Amino acid sequence: MKRTGSQIVMEVLLEHNVDTVFGYPGGAALNVYDALYDYSDKIHHYITAHEQGAAHAADGYARSTGKTGVVFSTSGPGATNLVTGIATAYMDSIPMVAITCNVSDNMIGRDSFQEISITGVTLPITKHNYFVNKIENLADALRNAFRIANEGRKGPVLVDITKDVTAATTDYTPHKPLPLEPHPKFTEAQIDQIAKIINECKRPVIYFGGGIEASNAREELYELIQKADIPATYTMMAAGVIDCDDPKNLGLIGMHGTIAANKAIDQADLVIALGTRFSDRVALNPKRFAPKAAIIQIDIDASEINKNVLINYSIVGDTKDVLQALLPKIEERKHTDWVEQVTAYQKTVRVPMEGAKLRPKELIEATCDLTDKDTIYVTDVGQHQMWAAQYVRHHKTHHFLTSGGLGTMGFGYGAAIGAQIGNPDKRVIHFTGDGSFHMNMNEGCTAVSYNLPIITIIMDNKVLGMVYQWQTVFYNKHYSQTVLNRKTDFVKVAEGFGATGFACNTLDEFKEAFQKALKINGPVWIECNIDKEERVLPMIPNGGTIDDMITD
């Protein structure tokens, strides 16, 4: 059958069961948006206030649903506005397909209006990208984009299409999604070796990351924890994989991780690293990470083996596949003394704040008290992000969405929009700070336009909190450009967008506002005025170890 390039875009989306896309139209993308008009009964497009918001929405949609996020943009600034969102997805291994439209092929290289080589710009932050200037190549490029985004270590792929290709016509034949490449193979001898080490150790710790979520290996992880009686700690990307109430859950690891998690790593004789990459927020001093332990690393990406920390044993493979092969060889064990020793370190670190009326920990706990276990929590980046990682009662995978690798301020509202659209039956709570929220609060108009009942909790301390904290501790209180004292009235701004706004200064006021917000069918902003001297603790400085941990 004959189809235009724009129709082929829609048909390939349908081949991959895509019914939701985010984006923003423009001149070079007019043909695609014209075709979208005819497919609007099958493909639902959500227009954001800014292309960056669309990219974050596609990301949040992917993280919360397990599907591939799809984002459209036009050429030039439309395409470059996607860059931060694509990089965010790349760093956190999120499957996304970005479809951009460029000027016509005969105008390429002439510095034409809104021309940009977006494939050149995004080459370092995509798994792969395609420049399509011949219609015969379009369908295959799109199909391969979905395949590449989802196989192995997941990530974003960009397809840039010239405008003349979107208008041209060619034969189109429907096709099933391309099969994914098989996961890396490992040997039984490797499994036997790892099993023997685990069966013989005395002080083991499991340290896992987002690779467990990506491979849906939660059940296998639980079985390993229980069968071998091993305490576990996790990176921020894996919050919710094990229940917050599990007695073997040591909590978050790393710079702002728990005392128990960091002490366990320091004293262990075996660290089992599953689907994680030993980032500099975990292994702050790589040469002194787990100094008494042998380290096993299991990861689907061979490039991560020995990249940041030198390890003793490794298997390149999908974590679910490896665990399924490993579990039958694991002996039933009890490490009672060891588990009791490390869990005894669990305690809450509190910052004395005389006269403080609204504390971050208290408002996060109150939020959890008033919502159910299916709630999806989304954060921006900064102090509020770490408080949320520490204090939200995590229960489920794909229910804590945050920018881990890139640390993108402004990520939260777009991601919350994508999560709410992908999960209309679930409550979405967006934690942010006044610094982060100022970056993308323009997406308030998007939340209002689609009547999304996202509750945004703004921890407003009038400073760039995390940087301010570092300046306090390490830079002699030289508060260079971190004391904002902006006069933004978030309640009035919310009302200007058409949302509902509340402001609170005490825990009781917050609880009252939040209970009202739960009954409102539409977006709500709750401004929570907190003290600028609030701290995220514990804290291990860059290059430090457990011996350098700051707890007060």
Active site residues: 51, 113-114, 163, 466
CB neighbours of residue 417 within 10 Å:
31
Cβ atoms of 389 and 256 within 8 Å: the answer is yes
Distances, alpha carbon 487 to alpha carbons 358, 461, 464, in Å: 20, 12, 14
Instruction: Spell out the alpha helix ranges (H) of 151-231.
Output: 163-167, 188-200, 210-214, 218-228
What is the distance between the alpha carbons of residues 385 and 394, in angstroms, rounded to a whole number? 14
- Quick check: bond before 538 cis, omega within 30? yes
449's tokens: 């336009």
What is the distance between the alpha carbons of residues 462 and 288, in angstroms, rounded to a whole number? 37
549's tokens: 């941990």
| Helix or strand run (H / E) with residue 150 | helix 138-150
What is the distance between the alpha carbons of residues 546 and 314, in angstroms, rounded to a whole number? 25
Residue type, 59: D
Q: What is the largest CA-CA distance in the chain?
A: 73
Cβ atoms of 551 and 538 within 8 Å: the answer is yes
Residue listed under structure tokens 């509750």: 455
The closest of 398, 352, 409, 402 to 375, measured between CA atoms, is 398
Distances, alpha carbon 483 to alpha carbons 351, 437, 460, 479, 549, in Å: 20, 16, 12, 7, 26
Q: For 254, what's the count of Cα atoms within 13 Å in the CB-facing half-sphere?
A: 20
283's tokens: 């292994």
318's tokens: 């999908």
- Listed in sequence order, the residues at least 6 apart from 41 whose beta carbon sits closer than 8 Å to its beta carbon are none
Torsion from C-alpha of 111, 112, 113, 118, nearest 10 degrees: -70
Question: With helix as H, strand as E and coil as C, how does 448-501 read?
Answer: HHCCCCCEEEEEECCECHHHHHHHHHHCCCCCCCCECCCCCCHHHHHHHHCCEE
Distances, alpha carbon 48 to alpha carbons 16, 45, 66, 348, in Å: 23, 10, 21, 40
